[in-house]
Amino acid sequence: MARIETPKRIRGTQDIFGDEQRRFAHVVDTFERVRRLYCFQRVEVPIFESTAVFARSLGETTDVVSKEMYSFEDRGGDSLTLRPEFTAGIARAYLTEGWQQYAPLKLVAHGPVFRYERPQKGRYRQFHQIDAEIIGAPEAAADIELLVLADQLLHELGIADGVTLQLNTLGDAETRDAWRGALVTHFEQHEGDLSQDSKDRLNRNPLRILDSKDPKDRPIADAAPDIDAYLTSEAGAFFESVAKGLDAAGVAWTRNSRLVRGLDYYRHTAFEFVTDRLGAQGTVLAGGRYDGLIGSLGGPETPGIGWAAGIERLAMLLEEPAAETVFATVIPIGAAAEARAVGVVADLRRERMKVDMAFRGNMKRRLAKADAQGADYAIIFGDDELAKGEVNVKRLKTGEQKTVPLARLPRIMWSQLMGDDFPDATEMTTWDHDGAVVKGPFQE
């Protein structure tokens, strides 16, 4: 018979497990907690959209659209694309679902995104993002709130040290056109010395040359004219409001006049939180104001601003997260005890206690499992104890052990959870054996 080959994991995808998964979950949990503090609503949007949603909003000239999209034809012949980011899908939903009525809308999303890139450390084909957007707010207050949210998130994740908020303005449409013209003139003067990528960008997307990582381009990019000389007074005032707001909120930032977003629809605020701890992939969170995006999808001109961050990249920066531990491990010894243990474990779990059962091997192995799980207590009983309606509760840290009535077990474990002293023997003997399950203090 032919040997069956085990299917392989697809290149650039990940199976996230154990410590890695705990880091991942910690990022998402923290994001969910912080977004609630800022009154952002969660949205769920599809993992795939019509290809046009991304092609139109991101623009044909961007790396993502020209090289990185996972596009396919479905059985009905429609061209679909797995989302390479959240913003475009959320903007599409804003239009098609009539969410204009809720504007300004503060939204977050998180989940998998897909880009056909060359896989390497920290760079995947399916990776995950957290994403925050404010749609329908032209005010600088929106930019400030989104940035303060990002800053608090990074602080609460404990990774703000060594991370800098770099801020720039891309001005309004008038500013941007004037500056773009000046950049093209400058780059044309040095065209011969530019990298091939930058030569290609010269007419399509000259702003992107400014943040080129190619050493050939750096001196030319560094000598390029700043936007400041081209800022209209409105655009200058807007940038100043954002800067002042960040100062008032106690968020540290630095100006990076080379920081751009490649897409045409970006206006005003552009930003990145950058770390020196991840080598070449130093951007942990990036975003900007996209006042032209919804218009480019065929909707009414609607301002918006947002950011996204790679969950994997944030997770890599985290301190070792604490392993998940168990409150009590139940260890039955004997057939009758094992049968009864199922109910004991279920009762404790219904009382909101984190409990597991050790049902394999001899007593020593079962206690070893309790230790490995980091259990505070082992609840041990054999058929003999069960016949008397009793179980042994052992505090694993100290080795102390007490025999307690099984009927009072949930109550007693609750008092342990609440930090009460381990019950003493005299107290024990006065407890009744009425068999009633006593509810914990937080139960109805």
Residue 371: phi and psi, rounded to 5, are: -65, -45
The CB-of-120 to ligand ATP minimum distance in angstroms stands at: 9
Interface mask toward ligand ATP for 299-318; x: CB under 6 A:
---------xxx-xx-----
Q: Determine, following the binding rule CB under 6 A, whether residue 401 of this chain makes contact with ligand ATP.
A: no
Q: How many Å apart are CA 61 and CA 264, to the nearest integer?
A: 10
Query: 145: which 2 tokens?
Result: 């709130």
The CB-of-356 to ligand ATP minimum distance in angstroms stands at: 34
The CB-of-348 to ligand ATP minimum distance in angstroms stands at: 41
Which among 216, 229, 228, 230 is positioned nearest to 187, based on CA atoms? 216
The CB-of-128 to ligand ATP minimum distance in angstroms stands at: 8
**The tokens 């009072």 sit on which residue?**
408
Instruction: Name the residue nearer to ligand ATP (CB basis): 35 or 394.
Output: 35
The CB-of-130 to ligand ATP minimum distance in angstroms stands at: 9
The CB-of-287 to ligand ATP minimum distance in angstroms stands at: 7
Q: Determine, following the binding rule CB under 6 A, whether residue 283 of this chain makes contact with ligand ATP.
A: yes
The CB-of-278 to ligand ATP minimum distance in angstroms stands at: 9
By CB under 6 A, the residues from 48 to 87 that bind ligand ATP are 85
The CB-of-113 to ligand ATP minimum distance in angstroms stands at: 8
- Specify the stretch interacting with ligand ATP by CB under 6 A; choose among 143-151, 167-175, 236-244, 276-284: 276-284
Q: Determine, following the binding rule CB under 6 A, whether residue 129 of this chain makes contact with ligand ATP.
A: yes
Interface mask toward ligand ATP for 221-260; x: CB under 6 A:
----------------------------------------
Instruction: Name the residue nearer to ligand ATP (CB basis): 91 or 231.
Output: 91
Instruction: Name the residue nearer to ligand ATP (CB basis): 129 or 269.
Output: 129
Instruction: Name the residue nearer to ligand ATP (CB basis): 51 or 241.
Output: 51
The two beta strands, 328-333 and 355-357, are parallel
Instruction: Name the residue nearer to ligand ATP (CB basis): 123 or 155.
Output: 123
- Yes or no: say if 379 and 344 are a contact pair by the CB < 8 Å rule: yes
Number of residues counted as binding ligand ATP (CB under 6 A)? 16
Q: Determine, following the binding rule CB under 6 A, whether residue 286 of this chain makes contact with ligand ATP.
A: yes
Interface mask toward ligand ATP for 109-128; x: CB under 6 A:
------x-x-----xx--x-
The CB-of-157 to ligand ATP minimum distance in angstroms stands at: 13
The two beta strands, 163-169 and 254-255, are parallel
441: exposed, middle or buried (Cβ count in 10 Å: 0-12, 13-18, 19+): exposed
> Cβ-closest residue to ligand ATP?
310
- Specify the stretch interacting with ligand ATP by CB under 6 A; choose among 13-21, 283-291, 342-350, 373-381: 283-291
Instruction: Name the residue nearer to ligand ATP (CB basis): 49 or 385.
Output: 49
Q: Determine, following the binding rule CB under 6 A, whether residue 409 of this chain makes contact with ligand ATP.
A: no
Instruction: Name the residue nearer to ligand ATP (CB basis): 51 or 283.
Output: 283
The CB-of-71 to ligand ATP minimum distance in angstroms stands at: 17
Instruction: Name the residue nearer to ligand ATP (CB basis): 112 or 334.
Output: 112
Q: Determine, following the binding rule CB under 6 A, whether residue 369 of this chain makes contact with ligand ATP.
A: no
The CB-of-285 to ligand ATP minimum distance in angstroms stands at: 6
Q: What is the 3-state secondary structure (H, E, C) of the chain?
A: CCCCCCCCCCCCCCCCCHHHHHHHHHHHHHHHHHHHHCCCEECCCCCEEEHHHHHHHHCCCCHHHHHHCEEEECCCCCEEEECCCCHHHHHHHHHHCCHHHHCCEEEEEEEEEECCCCCECCECCEEEEEEEEEECCCCHHHHHHHHHHHHHHHHHCCCCCCEEEEEEECCCHHHHHHHHHHHHHHHHHCHHHCCHHHHHHHHHCCHHHHCCCCCCCHHHHHCCCCHHHHCCHHHHHHHHHHHHHHHHCCCCCEECCCCCCCCCCCEEEEEEEEECCCCCCCEEEEEEECCCHHHHCCCCCCCEEEEEEEHHHHHHHCCCCCCCCCCEEEEEECHHHHHHHHHHHHHHHHCCCCEEECCCCCHHHHHHHHHHCCCCEEEEEEHHHHHCCEEEEEECCCCCEEEEEHHHHHHHHHHHHCCCCCCCHHHHHHCCCCCCCCCCCCCC
- Contacting positions for ligand ATP (CB under 6 A): 85, 115, 117, 123-124, 127, 129, 281, 283-284, 286, 308-310, 312-313
